Amino acid sequence: MPHSPQTSQRQIMSIARMCTLVLAALMSISKTETTNWGRAISRIFNLSISRHNTLSSCHECLVKYLGATQLYLLQINTAYMLYWAVGYTDIEKTFISHCNTQRKCLITRKFQQEYTAHYPRVGQQQFVGPTNSYVAEYNAHDFAVLIQEKVRVFRAANPSAYSKQRKHEVLSFKREQLPLIPVFFADKVNDNDQIRSVESQYTFDSSIQCFVAPTLNQDGTCRECLAMHSKSFAIRVYFFYYRSLRQSSELFVFPSDHNEAIIISNCEIVFCFQIFALHPRECGIWDKFFMTHRHSSKRLLLTHGMSGDYRNLAVTDEERKVFTKEEVKKMTEHIGLQRMPKIRELQNNKAREDFVLSILRHSTGYICLNIYAHPNRRFKCINCLLGNENSARLVVFLSLSNAIVLTVHKTILECNKCSTVKPLSSDACQNILGGHLMKMEMYEHTSKLQLLNDVGGKCIVSYHHFTKKTRCIRCMESVLGAEVKHYDIAKNSVLFLTLESDSNLNPPSYDKLLTCHSHDSCSRIQMVPYKFCSDHQSFQVMASSQSASQTKANIFTMDRIPFGVWPPLKHRIVPNVDNIPSRASSLSRSESRYDIEIGPTFNTIALVEFTYAKSKRFDCVKCLTELTEVFLAYTDVSSLNGYVWMRQSPLSILGLCVGVHCLSLLYHEAREQIERPVGLRRLTRDEIFCEEDDT
């Protein structure tokens, strides 16, 4: 049957429309995705909890301070907890300096060298979603994201194809070759050593920036924010011990196209707690110190015939994308909306100022100590060696039990907290420190394609102390507009729904949102997927008009135990970003990269209802939050139920909550699942805790 002219015209228009969208997607990728990738690191942590503590403190530290983009509890029993973490930071070093304490997380005595993942079978159900007039746009968006991922996979398999991008990893810290400088160790330098003379030549790069921030309670987003200002989204991080772990700090070093005022303005208020910038002169002293040992280590490797990749590859300004201060600020805004830290109590900066002064007392007669101690006694060992020194001392963690400590004391103290304390010669120390001192943490920058997803209707959740609820709501309404709708989801959290037609939340209004991020108003603000708001509205309607027995539901109780992973996976067209549907998959594109394939294959989140016994509300939500990934929690005191937006989890994990803290879990099969929101911060005890609940 021949087609009518109208039908042919519609087909031509449809094809032209699709071609235009594909071309726009390809142009967007070509222009905005250059160098937008970092090297993900995955680690298994075998942890335990002190008898005097609970899981909460360890879980909170891992979520907030580890800097992990993904964190899964794989196994748990009375002896240990097995976590799998993925991130762009040096996860092991960050864990050592932030979370491995008696009050937080302990390393189990039975060390596990490797872990083979055996995941339970994932239940699947098929569902065909309705088509709509925007399917072409949605498919083009999926196509664009898919191409980005394929490019990244190709880069991983073909290193030579992106060698120019990898030049940034070394070249951002490259130095010119000028005069000989002495090595800052006790051993005398051989003046006739021509190789060392050449390799130790140095000229300070004026673009190098140095910042100091306290180690404890420093949110993982601080490093990420600083890295957004680095020329290659890479930073070097050094730990300095000063009197105690509480007074110790980290030094961040990176080259930047932006001055320290812009960096502090973007990072200090929201992300970095009590951050200080070192004067360029002091920054140059430490940068010279680090570069000296890097060059000396290189000389030793070459002298002894060892292989080492220390090539200084040339890079031109044309090969490196320079982001304007407006673009960088937009990236930090995106990070803030996705994973804004909780506001912290203001403290006297005197302790930080003392530390900054102590780090400036640079000595030239360092003694290098190689120490071994049980991971749970590591800082007790370091404190025994350095606790009485008047200056901050560099500590380089080589492993969970091994570290290099620099001190000026000639006499080595006997410390029963240390397993071994061994002084090293200058050459031996330089050989060890060379690679570690120049080790960098590389981050992904937010692409323009991702930033476009912030446009349109918005769903925002705010957290507050229960006594500051009214102030928080009033402040948010003044920023979002009088027509904004808000819903109480807990005593200390509120959900705000804004529509494109009545919302004035444009990019500049991020600064207005920050006016509500205070001790007297909202303690934390987070933009969440729009579906969280739309499903909350439908949940309230369903709760008032329809019982669970009237709809097809999947129920998990002590008497009705399902199998495998729960809730079961559903394939359908669902929105994975605000107002942009995408087909759900069991493994998100951002998580399917070559270096993290050991991760769990279940990667969707769903609205799961729960019921709890009277006075067990907090325990039920707390259990789900700490044992699974929960992104939003709603509780209804009057009906003893609520819901969480949670990731699929093995039944062995969920079974620790059901029947103990929660009476039941329920999942409506008619509801849509969405892909796990990449970059969205999960909940911790802080977001669900309310003082009234503990009375």
d(CA 40, CA 67): 12
Burial class (CB in 10 A: 0-12, 13-18, 19+), 126: exposed
Tell me the per-residue pLDDT of 597-610, one tens digit each, with 9 for 90 and over.
Answer: 344 557 889 999 99
Give residue-wise pLDDT tens across range 370-394: 999 988 888 999 999 887 777 888 9
d(CA 271, CA 336): 8
Q: How far apart are CA 146 and CA 178, in angstroms?
A: 47
pLDDT for 346 equals 60
Say if pTM beats, i.e. exceeds, 0.85: no
The tokens 């930080």 sit on which residue?
352
Confidence (pLDDT) at 286: 84
Structure tokens at 173: 């810290």
Neighbouring-strand partners of residue 566: 649
Q: Bridge partners of 41?
A: 87
The pLDDT-based confidence of 471 (bands split at 50, 70, 90) is: very high
Pull the structure tokens for residue 436: 């570690």
Least confident of 314-328, 431-445, 468-482: 314-328
The label of the residue with tokens 């009485």 reads 388
DSSP 600-665: -S--EEEEEEEE--TT-HHHHHHHHHHHS-EEEEEEETTTTEEEEEEE-EEHHHHTTTBTTTBSEE
As a whole number, the mean pLDDT across the chain is 72
Q: What's the pLDDT tens digit per position in 420-466?
A: 999 998 888 888 887 777 778 888 877 666 665 553 468 999 999 98
Contact of 236 with 254, CB cutoff 8 Å: yes
Q: 495-508 pLDDT, tens per residue?
A: 999 875 544 444 34
**Within 10 Å of residue 606's Cβ, how many Cβ atoms?**
23
Domain 452-534 -> CATH class: alpha beta
Q: How far, in Å, CA of 691 to CA of 335, rounded?
A: 29
Domain extents in the chain? 1-32, 174-439, 452-534
CA distance to 182, 362, 404, 412, 655, per residue, from 423 (Å): 20, 20, 10, 8, 51
pLDDT in tens, 219-239: 889 999 999 999 989 899 999
Partners of 255 in the β-ladder: 208
- Which helix H or strand E contains 11, and what residues bound it? helix 5-32
Cα–chain-centroid distance for residue 355?
A: 26
